[in-house]
Amino acid sequence: MSRIGKLPISIPASITVDIRDGLVVVSGPKGELATKIPTGVKVTREEDKIIVNSEMSNLHGLIRTLINNCVLGVTQGWTRVLELNGTGYRANTTGAELNLALGFSHPVVVKAPTGITFTIAENKITVLGADKVVVGEVAAKIRKLRPADVYKAKGFKYEGEVIRRKAGKAAKAGTTGGK
Protein backbone atom coordinates (compact mmCIF):
# COMPACT_ATOMS: atom_id res chain seq x y z
CA MET A 1 0.00 0.00 0.00
CA SER A 2 1.15 3.51 -0.79
CA ARG A 3 2.66 5.47 2.07
CA ILE A 4 1.35 8.75 0.71
CA GLY A 5 -2.07 7.21 0.08
CA LYS A 6 -2.41 6.23 3.75
CA LEU A 7 -2.16 9.83 4.96
CA PRO A 8 -5.50 11.58 5.55
CA ILE A 9 -6.15 14.96 3.90
CA SER A 10 -7.11 17.65 6.41
CA ILE A 11 -9.93 19.96 5.34
CA PRO A 12 -9.66 23.63 6.40
CA ALA A 13 -12.81 25.37 7.66
CA SER A 14 -12.89 27.75 4.66
CA ILE A 15 -13.61 25.03 2.07
CA THR A 16 -16.42 22.57 1.35
CA VAL A 17 -15.96 19.06 -0.01
CA ASP A 18 -18.69 17.16 -1.85
CA ILE A 19 -18.15 13.47 -2.69
CA ARG A 20 -20.70 12.11 -5.19
CA ASP A 21 -20.89 9.50 -7.99
CA GLY A 22 -17.21 9.14 -8.82
CA LEU A 23 -16.35 12.80 -8.33
CA VAL A 24 -14.80 14.83 -5.51
CA VAL A 25 -15.71 18.52 -5.76
CA VAL A 26 -13.70 20.96 -3.61
CA SER A 27 -14.94 24.57 -3.28
CA GLY A 28 -13.09 27.39 -1.57
CA PRO A 29 -12.18 31.07 -1.73
CA LYS A 30 -10.05 30.66 -4.90
CA GLY A 31 -12.64 28.67 -6.88
CA GLU A 32 -14.00 25.18 -7.39
CA LEU A 33 -12.08 22.11 -8.56
CA ALA A 34 -13.19 18.55 -9.26
CA THR A 35 -11.30 15.25 -9.40
CA LYS A 36 -12.61 12.04 -10.98
CA ILE A 37 -12.40 8.93 -8.84
CA PRO A 38 -11.75 5.70 -10.79
CA THR A 39 -13.51 2.46 -9.92
CA GLY A 40 -11.69 0.49 -7.24
CA VAL A 41 -10.86 3.61 -5.22
CA LYS A 42 -13.10 4.62 -2.30
CA VAL A 43 -13.04 8.17 -0.92
CA THR A 44 -14.75 8.92 2.38
CA ARG A 45 -15.08 11.97 4.60
CA GLU A 46 -14.68 11.72 8.35
CA GLU A 47 -15.27 15.01 10.21
CA ASP A 48 -12.50 17.34 8.94
CA LYS A 49 -10.49 14.72 7.01
CA ILE A 50 -10.69 12.95 3.65
CA ILE A 51 -9.55 9.32 3.60
CA VAL A 52 -8.68 7.40 0.43
CA ASN A 53 -8.96 3.59 0.47
CA SER A 54 -8.11 1.44 -2.52
CA GLU A 55 -7.84 -2.12 -3.71
CA MET A 56 -5.78 -0.77 -6.62
CA SER A 57 -2.47 0.16 -5.03
CA ASN A 58 -1.13 1.75 -8.22
CA LEU A 59 -3.75 4.54 -8.04
CA HIS A 60 -3.94 4.98 -4.28
CA GLY A 61 -1.23 7.62 -3.81
CA LEU A 62 -2.08 9.36 -7.09
CA ILE A 63 -5.74 9.95 -6.22
CA ARG A 64 -4.83 11.14 -2.72
CA THR A 65 -2.31 13.61 -4.16
CA LEU A 66 -4.77 14.91 -6.79
CA ILE A 67 -7.41 15.56 -4.11
CA ASN A 68 -4.79 17.23 -1.88
CA ASN A 69 -3.73 19.46 -4.81
CA CYS A 70 -7.38 20.52 -5.21
CA VAL A 71 -7.62 21.38 -1.49
CA LEU A 72 -4.38 23.39 -1.58
CA GLY A 73 -5.37 25.08 -4.86
CA VAL A 74 -8.71 26.44 -3.62
CA THR A 75 -7.17 27.64 -0.33
CA GLN A 76 -3.78 29.14 -1.26
CA GLY A 77 -3.48 28.68 -5.04
CA TRP A 78 -0.51 27.64 -7.18
CA THR A 79 2.19 29.80 -8.77
CA ARG A 80 4.88 29.27 -11.38
CA VAL A 81 7.52 31.96 -11.93
CA LEU A 82 9.29 32.47 -15.27
CA GLU A 83 12.34 34.69 -15.78
CA LEU A 84 12.79 36.50 -19.10
CA ASN A 85 16.39 37.38 -20.01
CA GLY A 86 17.65 39.04 -23.16
CA THR A 87 18.20 42.46 -24.68
CA GLY A 88 14.96 43.85 -26.08
CA TYR A 89 12.78 41.09 -24.66
CA ARG A 90 9.77 42.67 -22.96
CA ALA A 91 6.56 41.53 -21.28
CA ASN A 92 3.45 43.40 -20.15
CA THR A 93 -0.18 42.61 -19.40
CA THR A 94 -3.38 43.99 -20.86
CA GLY A 95 -6.38 42.64 -18.99
CA ALA A 96 -6.23 38.84 -19.21
CA GLU A 97 -3.58 38.88 -21.96
CA LEU A 98 0.19 38.68 -21.75
CA ASN A 99 1.94 40.71 -24.47
CA LEU A 100 5.48 39.59 -25.27
CA ALA A 101 8.21 41.08 -27.46
CA LEU A 102 10.64 38.19 -27.98
CA GLY A 103 12.75 39.28 -30.94
CA PHE A 104 10.29 38.06 -33.57
CA SER A 105 8.96 40.36 -36.29
CA HIS A 106 5.61 40.43 -34.47
CA PRO A 107 4.44 40.66 -30.86
CA VAL A 108 3.26 37.43 -29.22
CA VAL A 109 -0.02 37.49 -27.28
CA VAL A 110 -0.83 34.77 -24.73
CA LYS A 111 -4.46 34.67 -23.56
CA ALA A 112 -5.03 33.47 -20.00
CA PRO A 113 -7.45 30.55 -19.62
CA THR A 114 -10.26 30.96 -17.08
CA GLY A 115 -8.92 31.00 -13.54
CA ILE A 116 -5.38 32.04 -14.54
CA THR A 117 -3.84 35.48 -13.93
CA PHE A 118 -0.47 36.94 -14.86
CA THR A 119 1.64 39.34 -12.79
CA ILE A 120 4.87 40.96 -13.94
CA ALA A 121 7.68 42.34 -11.78
CA GLU A 122 10.84 43.47 -13.61
CA ASN A 123 11.88 40.43 -15.69
CA LYS A 124 9.74 37.89 -13.79
CA ILE A 125 6.35 36.65 -14.97
CA THR A 126 4.21 34.88 -12.37
CA VAL A 127 1.41 32.55 -13.47
CA LEU A 128 -1.24 32.26 -10.72
CA GLY A 129 -4.23 29.92 -10.47
CA ALA A 130 -6.12 27.34 -8.43
CA ASP A 131 -5.54 24.31 -10.69
CA LYS A 132 -1.94 23.07 -10.50
CA VAL A 133 -2.11 21.30 -13.87
CA VAL A 134 -3.40 24.34 -15.77
CA VAL A 135 -0.83 26.65 -14.12
CA GLY A 136 1.97 24.29 -15.19
CA GLU A 137 0.63 23.95 -18.74
CA VAL A 138 0.33 27.72 -19.25
CA ALA A 139 3.85 28.28 -17.88
CA ALA A 140 5.21 25.55 -20.18
CA LYS A 141 3.49 27.12 -23.22
CA ILE A 142 5.01 30.51 -22.40
CA ARG A 143 8.48 28.99 -21.90
CA LYS A 144 8.18 27.09 -25.19
CA LEU A 145 7.85 30.40 -27.10
CA ARG A 146 11.52 31.26 -26.46
CA PRO A 147 13.38 28.77 -24.23
CA ALA A 148 16.70 29.94 -22.81
CA ASP A 149 19.49 29.17 -25.26
CA VAL A 150 22.66 27.46 -24.09
CA TYR A 151 25.10 30.06 -25.45
CA LYS A 152 23.82 33.34 -23.98
CA ALA A 153 20.94 32.13 -21.73
CA LYS A 154 18.52 34.48 -23.55
CA GLY A 155 14.85 33.57 -23.29
CA PHE A 156 12.51 32.09 -20.67
CA LYS A 157 13.60 29.90 -17.81
CA TYR A 158 11.83 28.80 -14.66
CA GLU A 159 12.86 30.45 -11.41
CA GLY A 160 15.65 28.37 -9.91
CA GLU A 161 16.35 26.50 -13.17
CA VAL A 162 20.04 26.24 -14.02
CA ILE A 163 20.95 26.60 -17.70
CA ARG A 164 24.14 24.75 -18.64
CA ARG A 165 26.12 27.17 -20.77
CA LYS A 166 28.20 26.04 -23.74
CA ALA A 167 31.44 27.57 -24.95
CA GLY A 168 31.18 29.40 -28.26
CA LYS A 169 33.16 28.75 -31.46
CA ALA A 170 36.00 31.09 -30.46
CA ALA A 171 36.66 29.19 -27.25
CA LYS A 172 36.62 25.85 -29.07
CA ALA A 173 38.89 27.01 -31.93
CA GLY A 174 41.64 28.14 -29.58
CA THR A 175 41.98 24.70 -28.00
CA THR A 176 42.20 22.48 -31.11
CA GLY A 177 45.36 23.99 -32.55
CA GLY A 178 44.72 24.71 -36.21
CA LYS A 179 44.48 22.86 -39.52
Q: Which of 29, 58, 75 is the last residue of a domain?
A: 75
Q: Tell me: the pLDDT tens digits for 85-96?
A: 999 999 999 989
Q: Find the domain containing 98 and state its range.
A: 78-158
Q: Is residue 177, in this structure, part of any structural domain at all?
A: no
CATH number at residue 8: 3.90.930.12
Question: What digits encode the pLDDT tens for the residues 5-51?
Answer: 889 999 999 999 999 988 999 999 999 999 999 988 999 999 899 99
Pick the last residue of a domain from 56, 75, 94: 75
Whether 113 maps to a domain, the answer reads yes
User: Would residue 58 be called left, alpha or beta, if left means φ above 0 and alpha means ψ between -120 and 50 degrees?
Assistant: alpha
Residue 112 lies in a domain: yes
Query: Among the three residues 49, 75, 101, which one is the final residue of a domain in this structure?
Result: 75
What is the pLDDT, as a whole number, of residue 178?
A: 56
Residue 8 lies in a domain: yes
Q: What is the DSSP letter of 146?
A: S
The answer to which of 2-11, 61-70, 99-108, 130-139 has the lowest mean pLDDT is 2-11
User: pTM for the whole thing?
Assistant: 0.86
Question: Is 20 a domain residue?
Answer: yes
Asked if 97 and 144 sit in the same domain, the reply is yes
Phi (first) and psi of residue 136, to 5 degrees = -65, -40
Query: Are 102 and 126 contained in the same domain?
Result: yes
46 and 88 in a common domain? no
What angle separates helix 132-145 from helix 57-75, to the nearest 10 degrees? 80
Query: What angle is formed at CA 59 by the lines to CA 57 and CA 64, rounded to 5 degrees?
Result: 110
67 and 28, same structural domain? Answer: yes
Report pLDDT for 139. 97
- Give the Cα separation of 121 and 61 in Å (integer): 37
**Rounded CA separation 74/84 (Å):** 28
Q: What is the pLDDT of residue 175?
A: 65
Q: How many CA atoms lie within 13 A of 169 on its CB side?
A: 0
Calpha distance 66→5 (Å, rounded): 11
Q: Domain count for the chain, please give it.
A: 2
